[in-house]
């Protein structure tokens, strides 16, 4: 019963966070790039490319800073929750999230300054904490339209490397999802009332595993094409 109470308290909060995330995605700064664009521009040396990257990382730093502020506030608000089972754990998670958000904001600002210096021709040393962000971390995934356009025009090694990275990430997600559903199937089977749902999870596991194999195959194909289209 306590677990059910905790879950009922968290569900509205999770729904709110999902809506907030969607709203944030819809209100993305015009300066923000998608993950493919970040990886493309990092490999270029033009001043305009560096300026775009600087703008992207500035927007990213602002987003992380806003999230840090939000999670700090949530940590404080959670302390007043009447459920003792929820208070300590939820507050600790929110505080840790705020700390990680602040660290990400700092790393993004350092990258923004670094690329701004490159854009103006000033000497610059790459920050040691920015590798993940320069690989597209924190940036939104490309839209369906952007992927369609890339698939339609892919002809250079860079184009194929971008598509390879996309399919590798997709294969990884499908594999992780299949493991999650396999675990869910076992949970369902432990309950005589919900055992039938385990069959549906088994089907999802099978489909997701096959999808992961197909995505990995597409990544391999683009890896090959990246080496031949030179």
Q: What is the pTM of this model?
A: 0.64
Angle between helices 195-228 and 157-189 (to 10 degrees): 170
Question: Does the structure show a pLDDT above 70 at 21?
Answer: no
pLDDT for the residue 81? 58
> What is the average pLDDT value for the chain, to the nearest integer?
81
Same-domain pairing of 128 and 152: no
Count of domains in the chain? Answer: 2
Same-domain pairing of 192 and 99: no
Is residue 154 within 8 Å of residue 163, measured between CB atoms?
yes
Lowest mean pLDDT among 25-39, 56-70, 117-131, 145-159: 25-39
Q: Highest mean pLDDT range out of 16-25, 71-80, 92-101?
A: 92-101
* Domain end residue (candidates: 107, 136, 165): 136
Question: Does the structure show a pLDDT above 70 at 188?
Answer: yes
Same-domain pairing of 132 and 20: yes
pLDDT for the residue 3? 41
User: Could you give the CA distance from residue 50 to residue 36 in angstroms, rounded to a whole number?
Assistant: 15
Same-domain pairing of 129 and 165: no
Q: Is the dihedral of CA 64, 16, 182, 210 positive or negative?
A: negative
Of residues 59 and 86, more confidence is placed in 59
Same-domain pairing of 47 and 82: yes
Same-domain pairing of 105 and 48: yes
* Domain end residue (candidates: 84, 115, 136): 136
* Domain end residue (candidates: 101, 136, 171): 136
Question: Does the structure show a pLDDT above 80 at 117?
Answer: yes
Same-domain pairing of 99 and 171: no
Same-domain pairing of 78 and 154: no
Q: Which stretches of the chain are DSSP H helices?
A: 2-26, 35-42, 47-79, 84-120, 131-134, 144-153, 157-189, 195-228
Is residue 198 within 8 Å of residue 189, measured between CB atoms?
yes
Same-domain pairing of 129 and 32: yes
Which helix (H) or strand (E) segment holds residue 132: the answer is helix 131-134
Same-domain pairing of 157 and 129: no
Is residue 178 within 8 Å of residue 205, measured between CB atoms?
yes
State in Å, rounded, how far the first CA of the chain is from the last one.
Answer: 63
Mean pLDDT of 204-211: 92
Range of 187's domain? 143-230
Same-domain pairing of 35 and 119: yes
Of residues 85 and 18, more confidence is placed in 85
pLDDT for the residue 76? 81
10 Å Cβ neighbour count for 4?
8
Rg of the chain (C-alpha set): 22
Among 63, 74, 99, residue whose Cα is nearest residue 10: 74
Same-domain pairing of 67 and 47: yes
Question: Does the structure show a pLDDT above 80 at 208?
Answer: yes
Of residues 230 and 176, more confidence is placed in 176
Lowest mean pLDDT among 20-29, 85-94, 132-141, 162-171: 20-29
């Amino acid at each position: 019963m306590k677990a059910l109470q905790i879950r009922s308290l968290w569900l509205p909060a999770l729904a709110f966070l999902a809506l907030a995330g969607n709203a944030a995605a819809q209100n993305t700064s015009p300066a923000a790039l998608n993950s493919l664009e970040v990886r493309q521009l990092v490999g270029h040396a033009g001043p305009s490319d560096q300026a775009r990257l600087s703008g992207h990382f500035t927007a990213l730093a602002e987003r992380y800073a806003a999230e840090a502020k939000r999670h700090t506030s949530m940590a404080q608000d959670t302390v007043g929750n009447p459920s003792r089972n929820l208070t300590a754990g939820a507050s600790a998670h929110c505080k840790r999230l705020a700390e990680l958000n602040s660290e990400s904001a700092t790393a993004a600002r350092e990258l923004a300054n670094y690329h701004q210096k490159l854009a103006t021709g000033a000497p610059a040393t790459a920050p040691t904490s920015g590798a993940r962000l320069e690989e597209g971390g924190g940036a939104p995934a490309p839209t369906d339209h952007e992927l369609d356009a890339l698939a339609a025009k892919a002809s250079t090694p860079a184009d194929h490397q971008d598509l390879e990275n996309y399919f590798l990430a997709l294969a990884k997600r499908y594999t992780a999802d299949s493991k999650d559903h396999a675990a869910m199937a076992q949970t369902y089977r432990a309950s005589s009332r919900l055992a039938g749902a385990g069959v549906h999870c088994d089907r999802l596991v099978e489909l997701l595993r096959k999808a992961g194999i197909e995505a990995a195959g597409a990544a391999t194909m683009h890896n090959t094409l990246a080496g031949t289209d030179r």
